[in-house]
Amino acid sequence: MLAYIVRRILLMIPTVFGILLISFIIVQFAPGGPVERILAQLQGLDTNATTNFTGGADTRAGGGSSTEFTSRYRGAQGLDPKFIAELNKQFGFDKPAPERFWIMLKNYLRFDFGKSYFRDTSVIELIKEKLPVSISLGLWMTLISYLISIPLGIAKAVRDGSRFDIWTSSVIIVGYAIPSFLFAIFLIVLFCGGSFWQIFPLRGLTSENFDQLSLLGKIKDYFWHITLPVSALTLSAFATVTFLTKNSFLDEIRKQYVLTARMKGLSERRVLYGHVFRNAMMIVVAGFPGAFINAFFGGALLIETIFSLDGLGLLSYESVVNRDYPVVFANVYIFALLGLVVNLISDLTYTWIDPRIDFETREV
C-alpha cells in the first residue's frame, strides 16, 4: 500500500504541472489583463471596477498581458510610454512568458503566491481569510447530504416499488429540480425578515459580537448563521447520492451470494448490513470526492453571494473578473492539489470498506 501511495503522490506532480501550464497558456490569450485594466481606470473607461490598484504589484504570477498588447490598447493613447513600461515591469510582464511561468512554479513549490494585484495583502492571507467560509459550506453540505441520502437510499431499495419509494422519489426529484439559489431566496423571504418571520440572520458566518460570546454561545451563533445557506445547498445535493445508493443496493440484493446468505438462515438485517452494505457502498464512496469538491468550490458561489458569505468561490470569481492573476493561479493550484489528495483518500477508503481490494498489485 505504501508503494501505491508513493506512486500516486508522484503522479500528482505532472498532473498539477499540466493544469497550471494549460491555465497559464489560456491566460496569455485572454484580453484585458491587469495592465489594461489600470489603463482603462486611468482613462475612465472601466466603470465596473470593484478594486483599486495598490501600486505595488507582485511579479510572482504570470498573467496574460504584454507590452505589445498594451501598446495597441486604446486606453494607452495619450499616456507616457515610460509609465506604461514601468507598469508592465511592476507586474512582471517585461519578462518572457516562459520565464514568468518558471518563476511561478518555483514560488508555488514553497506555497509562495505573492501579493494580490489589486488588494494590499498577500494571496495566502486572502485564502486563509476566505477558507473557513468555504469549508463550512462544503463540509456541512456534504456530511448532511450523505447522512440523509445513504439511509434513505437503503430504505428505498428495501421498499422498492412501494408507496414510500414512489412518494420519496417524487419529493427528491422536485427538490433536485429547484435551483439552490432560488430556494435560498425563498428561505430569505420566509425566515430573514421578509414578508414572514425574522428568525435567521441575513448575512455573514458569525455575529459582530462573536468574539465576546462564550464557547456555547459561539457554537449556537455559528449554526444560527449557517443553517439557511447549508439548507439551500443541501436541497438538491442529496438526490444523486440517494438514487445511487438505492440502485447500488438493488443491484447487490439481486446477486447470488445474497440468496445463499438468506438460505443459510441469516436475518435480513445481517444480510443487508453484513454483506450487501460493504459491496453496495463502493460506488457511493467513489462519488464522495466529486461531491465534496463540487460543494467546496463550485456550488457555493451563488449561495455565498446571496447570503453575503465571503468565501473562496466569491473570491475566485472576483479575481477572474478583475484579472487578479496571482489569486486566480493560487486558487487553481490549491483546488487541483486538494482534488488530487481527496481522490487518493477516496481510494484508500476503498480498502477500509472492503479489505479484499489491494491497490498494491494494480497499476496507477
How do residues 229-277 score in pLDDT, each as one tens digit? Answer: 888 888 877 787 888 888 888 888 888 888 888 888 878 788 887 778 8
Tell me which CATH homologous superfamily contains domain 128-321.
MetI-like (1.10.3720.10)
Summarised one tens digit per residue, pLDDT across range 61-74 is 665 544 444 444 44
- Mean pLDDT for 324-330 is 87
Q: Which helix (H) or strand (E) holds 49?
A: none
Summarised one tens digit per residue, pLDDT across range 143-174 is 888 888 888 988 898 888 899 999 999 988 88
What is the C-alpha to C-alpha distance for residues 331 and 337, in angstroms, rounded to an integer?
Answer: 10
CB atoms within 10 A of CB 293: 18
Number of residues in the chain: 364
CB atoms within 10 A of CB 31: 10
What residue spans define the domains of the chain?
2-118, 128-321
Summarised one tens digit per residue, pLDDT across range 267-315 is 878 888 777 887 777 777 766 766 666 666 655 677 887 887 888 877 8
- Mean pLDDT for 92-117 is 84
Listed residue (120, 25, 40) closest to 76, CA to CA: 40
Least confident of 24-33, 78-87, 110-119, 147-156: 78-87
pLDDT score at 68? 42
Q: Which three cell numbers stand for residue 301?
A: 458561489
Query: Residue 84 above 80 pLDDT?
Result: no
CB atoms within 10 A of CB 95: 16
Give percent of the chain with pLDDT exceeding 70. 74
pTM recorded for the entire structure: 0.69
Query: Residue 129 above 70 pLDDT?
Result: yes
Helix ranges, the chain (H): 2-28, 34-42, 67-72, 81-91, 97-109, 123-158, 163-177, 180-191, 215-253, 256-263, 268-271, 277-286, 288-293, 301-306, 312-321, 325-353
- Chain mean position to CA 173: 24
What is the C-alpha to C-alpha distance for residues 336 and 83, in angstroms, rounded to an integer?
Answer: 37
What is the C-alpha to C-alpha distance for residues 70 and 85, in angstroms, rounded to an integer?
Answer: 9
CA atoms within 13 A on the CB side of 8: 20
Contact (CB, 8 A) for 79 and 39? yes
User: What is residue 298's three-state secondary structure?
Assistant: helix
CA atoms within 13 A on the CB side of 78: 7
What is the C-alpha to C-alpha distance for residues 184 and 202, in angstroms, rounded to an integer?
Answer: 11
Compute the radius of gyration of the chain from its Cα atoms.
25
Name the more confident of 294 and 228: 228
pLDDT score at 4? 78
User: What is residue 295's three-state secondary structure?
Assistant: helix
